[in-house]
Amino acid sequence: MLERPVSETSIGFVGLGTMGMPMAKNAIKAGFDVTGFDLREEILAAFVEAGGDRTDSLAALATECAIVSVIVQDDDQVKNVVAGPDGVFDHCGDETLVLIHSTIHPETPEQLAETAPGNVTVLDAPVSGTRTRAESADLAFMVGGDEQALDYVRPYLDSMGANVHAMGDVGSGEVAKIANNLVGISNMMTTAEGVALGTEWGLDQKDLLAVMAESSADSFVLENWEWLTDGWDDVQPGGWDGVAHICQKDLLLALDLAESVDLPVPGTAVASQEVPAFFRGLTDEG
């Protein structure tokens, strides 16, 4: 394990998007030395304005930073950042800790941990929470991997989230996140259908939402309904289409995990097929 206290360890952050930027900013606010990497020049410029350092190559980041956080879109991007040509594995120092925050198939962090150089420890540490919770450092982390490594890096994770959960071996954090997203996305879709049903029959939406909030329909989705159904064009790259892509990806991951253990999940199967139409409907309804 790294010899320096985590507070004195240089940190690299790959992916300064919807969630990554506020996460990295909170780490900076907590006093951590954070270097950011992103393919978008305007994002890197904004990160520097927030007090971070920047680099234009993964090789330089891996060489300079003993802890590397990765939060990119999908499995292929994670593999390319961590184990691709000129990636983190090719240039990391004597002791390096890689934290994977992306929502991906659990086999990906498992494979990366198995093929990592002997001086590298890999943890999967996906996050749950909206961008608002990322900005307020109120995220939940689900972590899979070596508990000693988690204990070491916990103060860094605490700077970005309110809850850090040890889930088991490498990959188990991803299983927890996918299970969570299955429930959250399905709940959003059924809530939208319930709201649409009531309003089509002439109910006032605000009155209906108030009743549902006091009844068995209450949920995180309902409590954040106004935020979840407004403003994504300004938050998520690609707007509603981008959100639909991510949600469908997560539900398909859930289907794949369920199939691997012969678990019937018919509700997830239906939801995964209807994601694009669902989000088109939200867009049309405003």
Query: How far is 77 from 71, CA to CA, in rounded Å?
Result: 9
Work out whether the CA dihedral 244, 246, 247, 249 comes out positive or negative.
positive
DSSP conformation class of 8: G
Q: For 84-167, where are the alpha helices, taking DSSP H only?
A: 88-91, 107-115, 131-135, 147-158
Q: How far is CA 113 from CA 99, 106, 117, 156, 213, in A?
A: 11, 11, 9, 21, 43
Q: How many CB atoms lie within 10 A of CB 235?
A: 16
Selecting among 25, 29, 79, 177, the annotated active-site residue is 177
Q: How many CB atoms lie within 10 A of CB 61?
A: 25
Backbone angles phi, psi at 204, to 5 degrees: -70, 130
- Rounded CA-CA distance 278/58 in Å is 37
Question: In whole angstroms, how far apart are CA 140 and each of 49, 136, 223, 224?
Answer: 27, 12, 18, 17
Query: Is 177 one of the catalytic residues?
Result: yes
How big is the chain, counted in residues? 286
Q: Are 26 and 137 in contact (CB under 8 A)?
A: yes
d(C-alpha 131, C-alpha 159), whole Å: 15
Please give the positions annotated as active site: 177
